[in-house]
Structure 1
Amino acid sequence: MIEPLNTFVRKTPNWLLYLIGAAYPAWLLYAGLSGGLGVDPVKAMEHALGKAGLQVLIAVLLITPLRRFSKFNFLSWRRALGVIAFFYILLHFLVWMVLDVQILSQVWADIVKRPYIIVGMISLLILLPLAITSNNISIRKLGPRWRKLHKATYLAVALGGVHYIMQTKGFEYEPYIYLAVVIGLIAIRKLPKKRAAQPVKRQVA
């Protein structure tokens, strides 16, 4: 069961993941235009894209613990999922700015008035260089620095969870679950790795 799944993951081309990832915003646009997103389709699309971006980022964080504590290996999907998550969050921002607020002067007023927008924008700005360098050329040029740069994903996801909580009106348990999962996944990565047992040396009498 596990090995056939890992083989399927390894053989899945990235372009297929990007195609599947692009299908969701396309469906949201269709649903919005056809009246399938309720009375406020812009807000519904905005929130759906933001939540989807956070969910995919959490999936990216989940890949390493899955590989470490089980035999499931989704490592070959990690970069593609990271790019898809950035794409969703960028669209979330653009829907808010272009379709929701619309007036550029009002965009700045909204940013000043609502601190959660600032938190979300910081998360997006952190993800920007990670998305740009998610390719083999950047990996070769940056070398060990590439891995260090992409550790900023942890901060971006955590800020995304905080942004989700801050923008919620009243108390809702769901955003707190998301943030708790993010914190848990980051904490798991800090657990010490098990060392291989050293052979016991026999003492000569």
Structure 2
Amino acid sequence: MNRWILHPAAKPLLWLVLAAPAALLLAGALANTLGPNPAEALIRSLGDWTMRLLCLTLAITPLRQITGWHALLRWRRNLGVATFIYGSLHWLAYAWLDQGLEPAALWADVLKRPFILVGTAAWLAMLPLAATSFNRAIKAMGGRAWKDLHKVIYGVAITALLHFLWMRSAKNNYGEVAIYGLIIAVLLGWRWQQSRRSPSLPTSGR
């Protein structure tokens, strides 16, 4: 598996897989096959994919340590960037399709609805992570500072989960929230245990 992950074609293939959900949603929007409320379907589907990719990004380190597939570290940064891209598409779809890209309407809606506020906060918190997701930024900041900054992803996960919870609570639909909550709790709990055992984890490869 490590050899396959390190194959030159693996990373382009990974990006094709990561782009597929967005491409399918765009095709559905153009073909008008997203259901009776295509705008809502597009916004929520992009949000769902953001949560899935966020969980997958957090799962890379546990998976590589449990399975011995250490080359998975090569994909972690790509998954983090993809999470940010889907989160940005999710927020932009809301801003465009729900609020017509009107700054005053956007500002009022963000302040009025708590789940929009925390979702926006989660997206904004990902901005510095995406902006420092390349090797030159790591060298410029230094490994320790870069690692400390990227711990923000844990807060992003909790804030994104709260956004998802408040959004689904309007319809008393907590099934998916419970699944994501369990996954995030397990992943963050595992990281907390590892940090107690080994405070100085390696920072290379992201």
TM-score normalised by the chain length of structure 1? 0.86
Aligned equivalents of 1:71 and 1:180: distance in 2?
24
Conserved? CA contact 1:83–1:131, under 8 Å: yes
Count residues in correspondence.
190
Aligned equivalents of 2:13 and 2:135: distance in 1?
18
Deviation at 1:184, TM superposition (A): 1.5
Aligned equivalents of 1:103 and 1:174: distance in 2?
29
Deviation at 1:103, TM superposition (A): 5.3
Instruction: Provide closer, same or farther for how the CA distance between residues 124 and 35 of structure 1 changes in structure 2, counting only shifts above 3 A.
Output: same
- The one of 50, 68, 91 equivalent to 2:47 is 50
Bigger mean CA deviation after superposition, 103-112 or 149-158: 103-112
After TM superposition, where is structure 1 displaced by more than 6 Å over at least 4 residues in a row?
none
Conserved? CA contact 1:50–1:92, under 8 Å: yes
Q: Secondary structure at the match of 1:37?
A: coil
Instruction: Provide closer, same or farther for how the CA distance between residues 193 and 68 of structure 1 changes in structure 2, counting only shifts above 3 A.
Output: farther
Q: Secondary structure at the match of 1:167?
A: helix
Deviation at 1:193, TM superposition (A): 3.8
The aligned counterpart of 1:188 is 190
* Larger proportion of helix: 2
Q: Describe the superposition over 1:30-55 as per-residue Cα deviations: whole angstroms up to 9, x where unpaired.
A: 10121221011111111111110111
Aligned equivalents of 1:55 and 1:153: distance in 2?
14
Which structure 1 segments of 5+ residues have no match?
195-205
- The one of 3, 6, 9 equivalent to 1:7 is 3
The aligned counterpart of 2:86 is 88
Conserved? CA contact 2:39–2:98, under 8 Å: yes
Conserved? CA contact 1:42–1:99, under 8 Å: yes
Deviation at 1:15, TM superposition (A): 4.1
Which structure 2 segments of 5+ residues have no match?
199-206
CA RMSD of aligned residues (A): 1.7
Aligned equivalents of 1:24 and 1:171: distance in 2?
23
The aligned counterpart of 1:147 is 147
Aligned equivalents of 2:101 and 2:82: distance in 1?
28
Conserved? CA contact 2:4–2:10, under 8 Å: no
Aligned equivalents of 2:156 and 2:167: distance in 1?
16
The aligned counterpart of 1:68 is 65
Aligned equivalents of 2:54 and 2:5: distance in 1?
18
Question: Which residue identity does 2:98 align to in structure 1?
Answer: D
Conserved? CA contact 1:162–1:179, under 8 Å: no
* Counterpart check, 1:159 vs 2:168: no
Q: Describe the superposition over 1:148-200 as per-residue Cα deviations: whole angstroms up to 9, x where unpaired.
A: 11111111011111110111121322112202211220111121448xxxxxx
Deviation at 1:13, TM superposition (A): 5.0
Aligned equivalents of 2:177 and 2:59: distance in 1?
18
Q: Describe the superposition over 1:125-170 as per-residue Cα deviations: whole angstroms up to 9, x where unpaired.
A: 1111101111111111111211111111111011111110111121
* Counterpart check, 1:22 vs 2:19: yes
